[in-house]
Amino acid sequence: MKTKKLQILAISLIINCHSFGQCVLGSGQFNAVMNNYQTNFLTDNDMFWDFINGSRKTFIPRFSNSSPIFVGSIWMGGYKNGQLVTACETYRDNNRVDFWPGPIDTVDLITSASDCNLFDTFFPITKIQVDSQKNHLYTTGTIPSQITNWPGNGIKNPLEGDTTSYKLAPYQDVNHNNTYDPMNGDYPIMYGDYSIYQITNDVGNYHAETGSLGIMGLETHITNYVIDCTSDSALWNTLFMHYDVINRGANTITNFLFTMWSDFSYGGTSSNGNTHKKYVGCDTALNMYYAYNGSGYDKDTLGLTGYHQYLPAFAGVFLNQKMSRFTYYNNSPSILNGYPSGYLQYYNFMNGVWYNGAAMTYGGNGTAAGGTPTNYLYSGDPVANTGWTEANAGNAPGDRRGLGTCGPFTFNPGDTIKVDFAYVFARDYAHPGDSVACIPILKQYVQNVQSYYNANTTPCGSTFSSGIKQFGGGNSIQATVYPNPSTGNFTIETNNDAKHTLTIYDINGKVVLSQIVNGTANIDASNLSAGIYNLNIVGNKGVVNKRLVIVK
């Protein structure tokens, strides 16, 4: 009993040393018809499902009653000051979440319940609206709310009298005044032809999903979007996500991992709601992981229409990052490949080891002790029946959750990690009852999408990013600040020799230093007090923001 009390006291002390907000889980949902997808987005970093009813809300083809996925979300984790910290999302069991809506306040580096409530929403926009604003087709009275409400300058919180962040959503600064001003021609920078923008954070409250005893201070800007190109089957069946993950905290996070978690829903459903007839695999050359049916017929169950004999495959693809690991776990309590129950287990799966820390090994079901360790499960070819697949390993189809990971990264304060990701759907109509015939179609779609992404062009003339000058995403200025933390003497190194204006703001938004820098510059700010400062670097090719920590 004494030991248990000491453990509880230790946990309490650890929790109390971190600045948690008082947010509750987000309730916002946005159901959208985007190309061949009818799908659902939520404000706590999860997607695809209706958490209120615990039901599927993503259907492909659109307006059908057939679904390839139940829930998807982001997992992140790493080490801060030597302590493992994680933020993950699954099913919101008993309202347990690790993410909340909204940005992190740039003054106190936390977030409040009212700020979370303010951003428990989405910012949808279309290319038609952006192009109309860009070409000055609107009058002052006809600019749509999607343009005027774009959170380029942050959003004023009427309950607290402050602005959540001085720069949030990316935009084109037409008049170069460093302020989003749509009445004078500024317009959002968006991805694709129809996008849905949202912001989340991991500081809104205690991490009840993973039980992580600390926070990372991460703010994630998410753009869910499609390329409207009905004549191209690959694009018609692809849903894109762009993630800007910003380290708003004052600490470097080492061995940081970014994971996409997917609960696929093929193969029929049992009476307790568990899907039970799917296989998973990966293709390391294409940076993709996928699920496909483990039998020749996808039946109707629990009010859903199966894909019957014309079977699909569904993939997650990293477009700009190397997929460094692919793992899975079953819907079971196994200490090897069962579901995680604490922050170490979540990180283990992200990091390519089993629940209990044992290495994943090549062959069989990946659990053989003493086997050859691998970071990629089931990387063989199910069509040619070569390499290591679930089928030739003799596995029974099961209730799998797939995890594709990129990293590890060293994630410094103020830095942004960018991840471009896509979900791709393919279905075969020529070989009824053949569960793997869809896989070559899927891989061809993925290759096409990757080619379009690399060239930033599509058969229908659309592009992935419609702008150049951005705040926080895809800008042409790159800058490194070192050492950071520093005593006030530090170096700024940009990726070109053009003139840039450096402005340093204190935590109250007051300008404390402003000067012109060229290429690499040594800055003397040793007269500034210890604390956290925001650096704003403006040039003719864009703007970049960094965070500076001064210690004395």
Domain boundaries defined on the chain: 2-214, 258-455, 479-550
- Tell me the C-alpha distance between 352 and 427, whole Å: 30
Tell me the per-residue pLDDT of 369-382, one tens digit each, with 9 for 90 and over: 889 999 999 999 99
What are residue 291's phi and psi, to 5 degrees?
Answer: -130, 150
Provide the pLDDT for residue 387.
95
Say how far apart CA 493 and CA 498 lie, in whole Å: 12
- pTM, full prediction: 0.82
Is beta strand 416-427 parallel, antiparallel or unpaired with respect to 479-482? unpaired
Instruction: Quote the pLDDT of residue 533.
Output: 82
Helix/strand/coil for 407:
strand
Q: Is 456 left (phi over 0), alpha (psi -120 to 50) or beta?
A: left
Are 403 and 258 spatial neighbours (Cβ–Cβ below 8 Å)?
Answer: no
User: Which parts of the chain have pLDDT scores under 50?
Assistant: 1-17, 271-274, 467-475
DSSP assignment string, 141-204: TT--HHHHT--TT--EETTTTEES-S--S-EE-TT-SSS--GGGT-EE--BSSEEEEEEEES-S
321 and 406 Cβ atoms separated by less than 8 Å: yes
Do the beta carbons of residue 243 and residue 222 sit within 8 Å? yes
CATH topology of domain 479-550: Immunoglobulin-like (2.60.40)
Distance of CA 494 to the CA centre of its chain: 27
Cis-peptide into 408, omega within 30 deg: yes
CB 48 within 8 A of CB 230: no
Nearest CA among 496, 470, 478 for reference residue 546: 478
Task: Tell me how many degrees the CA angle 502-506-509 measures, rounded to the nearest 5.
Answer: 90
